[in-house]
Every structure is written in C-alpha cells, then in structure tokens.
Amino acid sequence: MREKILIGASELFLNFGFKSVTMDDIANNLGISKKTIYLHFANKTKLVEATTMYLFESISEGINQICALQKDPIEEIYSIKQFIMEHLKDEKSSPQYQLQKYYPKICNSLKEKQFKVMQTCVIDNLKRGIQLQLFRESINVEFVARIYFSIMLAIKDKDLFPDKLFSMNMLMSNYLEYHLRGICTAKGLETLNKFITSNQS
C-alpha cells in the first residue's frame, strides 16, 4: 500500500504541484481513506519527503541505466534529458521550484543527493567526451560539471524563467546546446550539429 500511495501522490504532485494537492485529493484519487494514508505517513510533509525521494531513486536508476549503455557522450546527455522530462511530466508543475518555496529542508536534502548523482554521471560523460575527442582536452572537468549542475538548478527558477516565456523543454534543449557548444571540439560540433538536425527533422 505504501508504494501505491507514493506512486499516486507522485502523479498528482507532478501534475498539479506540491502546494495545491491535498491529502484528500490523494485519497480520492486512489480510492482509499485519508486514514489509510496517515497509517504510512504522519503528515503531508512526510509524504512529500517520501515521494520526492521515491522519484529521485527512480530517476537515478534510469540515469544509471542510460550511462551503462556507454552511448556517444553527446547523445547520452540528450537521452538523459528526455528520460527526466518524461518522468517529471515535462516539469509542468515546477516541482523543484515548489519544493524550494514550500519545503526548503526537503529541497536542500534532495539537492545534495542530486549533486552526487549528477557529478558522477557528468564527470564520466566529460571524460569520455575528451577521450573520444568530442570535447576539448583543455576543459576543467570539475569546474564544468559544477557549472552544469548549478545552471540546471537555475533554469528551474520560475522568477528568472517564467512559464509564460519559457517552457521547461525549451530551456533544457537550449541549455544543453549552450553547454555542448562551449566544450566541443570541431569533431564534437560536427556530431552535435548532425544530432540536432536529425532530431529536428
């Protein structure tokens, strides 16, 4: 039952946001009593925390599976982006932004975990890109990995990038291209341009 509640709550939170979804909404959506939810989660904050970690674990596992395929590093970055967007429902409820605003402690805990996962994944991606001569040998891998993470968080700030001007898909696509054009060799740029062209057609 606990996992059923987590899955149901995840769907509602991602579609409508952490703030607006109530325990009644979740109970009604799952066809169970609110009392049943409280048997597993003491309050909404505990449920938000558990749901957030549940989503994090699911997404981390998916990213690890994509990384294990050892794809071309440029294609890998876009595959991870696509996977995350699908699992977070295109981030239409701005989950990270809402967590920061209404549940800052949970958000900070999540950020620490995201940083560890992304550092491992991004550093490996950068090193493989350098080995394959797609990324410049002169880049500072540690610096680029941290900049990558910090900007991924920044583009989710709805005060900086309001929905009426920027969709999350557009922001992610533009940032990934911006990131890659900054580190690619001539060979890498050729690969990137081919990839972008083939995915636009």
Which structure tokens are listed for 156?
């989710």
136 phi-psi bin (left φ>0, alpha ψ -120 to 50, beta other) = beta
Give the integer Cα–Cα distance in Å for 85 and 124.
21
Please check whether residue 123 is in contact with residue 141, taking contact to mean a CB–CB distance below 8 angstroms: yes
- pLDDT tens across 73-110, in order? 999 999 998 898 888 776 666 777 888 889 999 999 99
Q: Is the pLDDT of residue 201 over 60?
A: no
pLDDT band at residue 174 using 50, 70 and 90 as cut-offs: very high
**For tokens 């080995």, what's the residue?**
131
Which structure tokens are listed for 149?
């993470």
Domains of the chain: 2-200 (1.10.357.10)
Of 198, 185, 173, 186, nearest to 77 (Cα)?
173
Which structure tokens are listed for 167?
């969709």
- The whole-model pTM stands at 0.86
Give the integer Cα–Cα distance in Å for 15 and 79.
22
Any residues with CB less than 8 A from the CB of 126 and at least 6 apart, and which? 73, 135, 139, 141, 144, 145, 183
Which structure tokens are listed for 140?
């500072």
Give the integer Cα–Cα distance in Å for 18 and 104.
12
Q: If you average pLDDT over residues 5-17, what whole number do you get?
A: 91
Q: Is the pLDDT of residue 53 over 90?
A: yes
Supply the DSSP string of 156-175, one letter for each residue. T-TTTS-TTT--HHHHHHHH
Give the integer Cα–Cα distance in Å for 47 and 67.
30
What's the pLDDT score for residue 95?
78
What's the pLDDT score for residue 91?
63
Q: If you average pLDDT over residues 58-82, what whole number do you get?
A: 92
- pLDDT tens across 26-42, in order? 999 999 999 999 999 99
- pLDDT tens across 109-158, in order? 999 998 988 889 999 999 999 999 999 999 999 999 999 999 998 998 88
Supply the DSSP string of 112-131, one letter for each residue. HHHHHHHHHHHHHHHHHHHH
